[in-house]
Each structure stands twice: as C-alpha cells, then as structure tokens.
Structure 1
C-alpha cells in the first residue's frame, strides 16, 4: 500500500479491513472505518466504496469518539 492521503480512492487501500457500525441501516447508508498500518484511520462512504477515503490521525479519531460519547454531536442525530 502506498502512503495514504486524504481523497485517495478507497480501493487503493489494499489489505485494510473496513468496518461499519452494527447500528447502520439496511439501505447501506453507512460510514466505514479502517485502521491503517501506520496507526491512522481511514473513513469512506459505504454507498460509494471505490470513492475517496478521508484519512485521520489516531488523535483526531480519539477526539471524535470522546466527543460522541460525551454527547457533543447529539444535535446532529436524525432522531433525539
């Protein structure tokens, strides 16, 4: 695998395992994440798996997950 970068085609991230939430809906509207060998995390849209991947550092993902757990993004949920 070449160096991962934001916007690269997700299909170029060979050998990674994509994972989506078990809370994802049956229509395939899901965000998927994959751990990269260097410790970064890639994200893609499951409706367009060959599309661009966004690449985040572990610290960025940790901050996101802590914010989600603390309810900082609850206002974005479709249902309260």
Structure 2
C-alpha cells in the first residue's frame, strides 16, 4: 500500500510528556491511520485502514 505522507499532521499523545521516545500518529485520507517513531520522522511508517486500526487499539 502506498500512501502519500507529505501532508500528514503527526501528533503525539498528550501523555507522552514531550519525550523523544514516542510514537506519533496521523489521521490520513481514506480512513487510514499512520504510526511512526518520533525519533525517526523520515523513516518508515505503519499504515492501518480503519478496521485494522480499530482492532489494533482494541488489542492494546
């Protein structure tokens, strides 16, 4: 799956405390969600569709 992340608005949880070892998330067009390592913002991102994101959240 190829998703253009150039315009994504990445954010961290308000509970992260601003530390660098966090995940960042972005809500993407087409009901997709991206997750990336905040220490490597130009690195790879995991992309979930809505159903997979819901299952991921439910499992954690």
Q: TM-score if structure 1 supplies the norm length?
A: 0.64
Match of 1:19 among 1, 6, 11: 11
User: Counting strand residues as a fraction of each chain, which structure ranks higher?
Assistant: 2
- Please say which structure displays the higher CA radius of gyration: 1
CA distance in 1, matches of 2:40, 2:21: 10
Aligned to 1:44: 36
Regions of 4+ moved over 2 Å: none
CA distance in 2, matches of 1:56, 1:30: 18
Match of 2:47 among 43, 52, 55: 55
Q: In structure 1, list runs of 5 or more residues that go unmatched.
A: 5-11, 69-80
Q: Highest relative contact order (Cα 8 Å, sep 6+), 1 or 2?
A: 1
CA RMSD of aligned residues (A): 1.5
